[in-house]
Amino acid sequence: MKSPDSNLTSGRQRILVTGATGFVGRNLVQQLACEHEVLILSRREVPAFTQLGARCVLADLGVNADLISVLPSGGIDRIIHLAQSDGYRDFPGSALDMFQVNVASTAALLDYAAKTGVKGFVLASTGSVYEPYTKPMDEALAQAPESHYARTKLAAELLAQSYSKLFNVCALRLFFPYGPQQTGRLVPNLFQRVQAGEKVLLDGDAGGMVFTPTHIDDVVTILRTAAISGWQGAVNVATPEALSIKDVAQAIGRIIGREPSFERTGKAGQMTIVPPIAVLSALMPDFRFKPFEDGARFFGQA
């Protein structure tokens, strides 16, 4: 991992963001728009973003969009590529869409960046590239994930690294982001179960899977820093706080005043998805993550 380029970190930047209507993207744009000029590549106009001062550029990354014809011919300093296929769980039904959005759109954006003088490219990748999580989750090691989704994300990373001699390229491997207004993911699903009085399912004979729920504010701060500072290479993005499913459910229960109930699935073993974050810590040595019980306070207002 190369150290940040201090020559690229100052002043107002012009930043192109894809995937801005997603959970991570919405939160990122709110922060970026306070300090930088933000362009949103989107299939539709988003009034909430224009009210922040961001500008929408209409294009659909799910088809072979001609980005050169719709994006500015120059002047973009950074690209933060967050867009991913909505069908990430649907294989083979959404296999082609996953390839188009996760891989082909990355190739198109990289080509645009090379032709227009972009200084830095940040790709939002995923901890899923380490599937099946049986080997060290080290950024420097070659990976061979199992799922089609994770393979498309790894393919995007490899494509991006081809351009690393032309401009700064960084792939942030995100682990379990959570926060207000997130739906359909592990942490909000646990909240719904605890709130509804439904049993929380636990594998193994302890507290179930151990993972690293990382607050969206922390994820956004890291994304923004990676882009503006010109990080290079792959970086695991995860809190150092490793919690089991049971730990998280109990913390949510304390916040909302409800005692969770649990049920064993009968499955042997306990999965642990806790990546090393030495690379991230070296880049942001003074950064302090939100403890889960502080970051999850918003559940008490639901």
Give the residue extent of every domain in the chain: 14-174, 180-212+241-274+291-299
**Would the pLDDT of 167 be above 50?**
yes
Model confidence at 1, pLDDT cuts 50, 70, 90, reads low
Model confidence at 209, pLDDT cuts 50, 70, 90, reads very high
Instruction: Give 126's strand partners.
Output: 174
**Would the pLDDT of 239 be above 80?**
yes
Model confidence at 3, pLDDT cuts 50, 70, 90, reads very low
Q: How high is the pLDDT of residue 79?
A: 99
Nearest to 275 by CA among 203, 204, 173, 207: 173
The side-by-side arrangement of strands in the sheet containing 14-18 is 55-58, 37-42, 14-18, 78-81, 120-126, 168-174, 233-237
For 218, the 3-state DSSP assignment is helix
Q: How high is the pLDDT of residue 213?
A: 99
Model confidence at 6, pLDDT cuts 50, 70, 90, reads very low
pTM, 2 dp? 0.95
- Domain 14-174, CATH 3.40.50.2000 — does that match? no
Model confidence at 8, pLDDT cuts 50, 70, 90, reads very low
Q: How high is the pLDDT of residue 142?
A: 94
- Superfamily grouping for domain 180-212+241-274+291-299: UDP-galactose 4-epimerase, domain 1 (3.90.25.10)
Mean pLDDT of 81-92: 93
Q: How high is the pLDDT of residue 130?
A: 98
- The answer to whether 19 and 84 are in contact (CB under 8 A) is yes
- The answer to whether 73 and 30 are in contact (CB under 8 A) is no
For 205, the 3-state DSSP assignment is coil
